Amino acid sequence: MFVHYVLKTFRLVLIVIVGLLFIRSFIVEPGRVNGRSMEPTYYDERIFFVNKFLLLFSEPERGQIIQFIEPTSNELFIKRIIGLPGEQVKVQQNKIFLVDTEGNETVLVEDYLPDNTVTRSATGGAEDYSVIEENEYFVVGDNRKMSHDSRHFGAVDRSLIQGVVIK
């Protein structure tokens, strides 16, 4: 009787562990903010969750905060998508401008940032970045002064995106 109880308990524990591993690998995973690059949206040491399932059926969208593998250091980062495939990002006059596939230029409206937010390029001056390739996304941190982002390492390939950060 005792052996039967142990086997049933072991089976139950094994099912729970496999289920949790499946959920964490394919559906949702916890994360922790490391740094100040996403302030005021996310502060250092804040816990968040990453929805990995959502991007299995849809493409990333402008304004979404994503978790991705930073291409030069292989570290996990969270940043906001601002540029989509086929667009060009320009930093001028302390703002971000987007040029669409037809050449129309518009200023990026960023209601999620404080009114006095200043955006500069990695070099500090005006800069026109390359047209974003297919399956790539231009990402920046909300704390523009403290963020290491696409202004430094370029657009992020879709294959490096882990999921969408859930508030």
Give the model confidence (pLDDT) of 38-77 as tens digits. Answer: 999 999 999 999 999 989 889 999 999 999 999 889 999 9
Judge whether 79 counts as a catalytic residue: yes
Q: Are residues 50 and 165 in contact, defined by beta-carbon separation less than 8 angstroms? A: yes
Q: pLDDT digit string (tens) for 112-133?
A: 999 888 999 988 888 999 999 9
Judge whether 145 counts as a catalytic residue: no
Catalytic residue among 52, 79, 90, 150: 79
pLDDT level of residue 167 (50, 70, 90 thresholds):
confident
User: According to the model, what pLDDT value does residue 108 have?
Assistant: 95
**Rounded mean pLDDT, 10-16:** 88
CA-based max dimension of the chain = 77
Q: Which two tokens stand for residue 132?
A: 């974003």
Q: How far is CA 130 from CA 52, 112, 155, 156, in A?
A: 28, 25, 9, 13
User: According to the model, what pLDDT value does residue 1 have?
Assistant: 82
Amino acid at 7: L
| Rounded distance between C-alpha atoms, residue 138 and residue 68, angstroms | 12
Catalytic residue among 37, 90, 147, 150: 37
Global pTM value: 0.88
**Rounded mean pLDDT, 85-114:** 94
- Weakest mean pLDDT among 16-20, 129-133, 140-144: 16-20
User: According to the model, what pLDDT value does residue 129 have?
Assistant: 95
